[in-house]
A and B are shown apart, each in its own frame.
Chain A
Amino acid sequence: MEKYLVSVIIENKPYINDPEGETILKDLIAKGGYNTVKAVRTAKMLNITIEARDRKDAEDSVKKLCDELRIYNPVVSNCRVESVNVAEARN
């Protein structure tokens, strides 16, 4: 078993409006002069350290717990995972 760092990214489904992202875009970024920025969507990220056999095992386990424990609300959000092997990442 090795340690993996799995990032869980929870983002609202595309058709759900995101007033926080819109405010950041309109009242901060656009006003700051960055007119090439067209959209901002907010997301929540959890970094989970988990022992697993391999990366797929790590990601599958985390995806399973996210579904079972409602880490993300399936009514309004999507959830995706990205992982790194902790030992490899340190090198």
Chain B
Amino acid sequence: MKIGIIVFPGSNCDKDVHHVLRNVLHVDADFVWHKQDNLQGYDAIVLPGGFAYGDRLRAGVIAAFSPIMKEVRRLAGEGMPILGVCNGFQILVESGLLPGALMKNNSLKFVCRWTNITVESNRTPFTHTLKPKQQIRIPVANQEGRYYADPKTIETLENNNQIVFKYHDDDPNGSISAIAGISNEQGNVVGMMPHPERASESVLSPFGSDDAMLIFESLLDYLDEQR
């Protein structure tokens, strides 16, 4: 089992994802530079957080045109589990792999703090071992995390069970319907604004929790079942 972590110029959460996978969960994980045009040999892909291309023009838009994204799109169509975290979510949206848009936070501030999210759909590889409405303590750190989509798209997301995470009793950025993470129609591509790689070890949490590890464990469980 091997997981590929795509690295764009300006990605800065790649090492944290690598650490959780390799050192905490003991899974094989590689860094994949964005100029590579093939992803052979990987069972799942993570697009990590950071500031790809310095968020120039719009967060994630330039990275969406990187050579590697052609391959990511192809694999997404074949059902490979793909997780976009924060900037990774922005890149998936700009690539057209996920609907809607991520805009500047309502407060106009860079919001960096712990929050709670609830699991709204266990129809994805990343949540399939989790219970509906299960709460996860997890931090956000972004300035452009406000999710927006037109009412028709929101209705479609709700009907298809594509809303994966919602902020619970909190509104860090003004996201419509408190959306913190969504999936594509098939359910294999998930984008989320909060950082699971920062909430997978109790030593890093002011609450001593490692809730978000469940997201990675769910993925491993899913991949095991696929074999």
Residues of A within 8 A of B (CB): 16-17, 19-20, 23, 69-71, 73, 75-76
Contact = CB atoms under 8 A, between A and B. Distances in A.
The interface residues of chain A, by DSSP majority, are classed as loop
A20 B104 CA distance: 9
A75 B108 contact: no
A76 B101 contact: yes
B150 A73 contact: no
Closest 5 CB pairs of A and B: A75-B101, A76-B101, A70-B61, A73-B101, A19-B106
B40 to A, nearest CB: 28
Contacts, number: 29
A20 B148 contact: no
A80 to B, nearest CB: 17
A70 B94 contact: yes
Contacts of B57: 71
Size category, B interface = 10 to 19
B108 A19 contact: yes
B65 A75 contact: no
B101 to A, nearest CB: 4
Contacts of A73: 58, 61, 94, 101
Contact of B104 (A19, A70, A71): A19
A69 B63 CA distance: 11
A71 B106 CA distance: 22
Contacts of A71: 57
Interface string B93-118: 01000011101101110000000000
A57 to B, nearest CB: 24
Contacts of A69: 65
Contacts of A76: 101, 103, 148
A75 B151 CA distance: 12
Given A75-B148, A75-B150, A70 B64 contact: yes
Contacts of B214: none
Nearest to A16: B148
A37 B94 CA distance: 35
B9 to A, nearest CB: 18
A75 B100 contact: yes
